Amino acid sequence: MNTKSRQWFLVFCTLPALIIFSIFALYPFFQAIVMAFYDWSGMSDEVTFIGLKNFETLIHDPKVWTALTNNVFLLLVVPTITMGFSLLFAVLLTRRKLRETTFYRTIFFFPNVLAIVVISILWSFIYHPTFGILNSFLEAAGLNSWIHAWLGEKSTVLWALIFPMVWQAIGYYMIIYIAAIQGIPNDIYEAAVIDGASEWKQFTHMTVPLIWGILRITIIFFFIQVFNQSFVYIQVMTDGGPDGSSEILMTYMYKQAFQNGNFGYAMAVGVFMLFISLTLSFISDRLMGRDAVEY
């Protein structure tokens, strides 16, 4: 097969997937951007072009900025805790040579198999103020002052949402880091031990630099994931409450579209989210743009 025939063969192989992707992904994406400049209820044929009015309303909408603040809080806390514990467990399960390594991998990865909706319902029962296992345990331990309506109080709701997010994601990233660490030749660690390097120095000066490429990709990916996928947890567990204290941009966009019948404004919020996602990706890539160490 000559080069030209091979190129046409590749075109015909990829064309069906490209057409399907364009119809079901690209077209709705660009259509949503266009609708951000219109006033549309989503239930009628009446569509009115209003230019930048939706974006002007967005800038002066205090609920948007409250939702953005909650997004930023989740972006700072969830990836930090998740990546920290995932990397810690990955190092322990690879460097400590535990006999039960397979068992621990299975236990940690199991929450990632469950659907996010199932996890949200499960943790809603755990946090239930009356018959939830968490408050029951605190009461049995004599820690009555620690008992809260975890999802019903402004001071605790975001932290209560963080735990299931972290619990679900730790195992997935742990498996990725384990694979990366196992790819490092053991001779390097043996030489470091002979030179008197402590485990902490081995971790900071060898493990992290040698898997930096994987760390960089997973962190950027997780930033975007938290920004977009936290919607399911919040929608199922709190619906943005109490009093909007757990509202994020995605849930606010959903309410504007399907509860308030304001699809044009909802699309404007979606475009705002797109801009933030692209900005976060760019900033993350720049801040973490160091080269990985090769061995």
Alpha helix positions (H), 116-211: 116-126, 133-140, 157-182, 186-194, 199-202, 208-210
Per-residue pLDDT tens digits of the chain, which is 295 residues long: 567 777 888 888 888 888 998 888 888 888 888 999 999 887 777 888 898 999 999 999 999 999 999 999 998 899 899 999 999 888 888 876 666 677 778 888 889 888 899 999 999 999 998 888 999 999 989 888 889 999 999 999 999 999 999 999 999 999 999 988 888 888 888 888 888 888 888 888 888 888 888 888 888 888 877 877 789 999 999 999 898 899 999 999 999 998 888 999 999 999 998 888 888 778 777 776 655 555 5
Residues 133-181: tens digit of each pLDDT: 999 999 989 888 889 999 999 999 999 999 999 999 999 999 999 988 8
**24-62 pLDDT, tens digit each:** 888 888 888 899 999 988 777 788 889 899 999 999 999
Please return the burial class of 218, using the count of CB atoms within 10 Å of its CB with bins 0-12, 13-18 and 19+. Answer: buried
To 10 degrees, the CA torsion angle through 275, 278, 280, 284?
A: -160
Name 121's Cβ contacts closer than 8 Å, sequence gap at least 6: 236
Radius of gyration of the chain (CA): 24
The domains located in the chain, with CATH, are: 34-287 (1.10.3720.10)
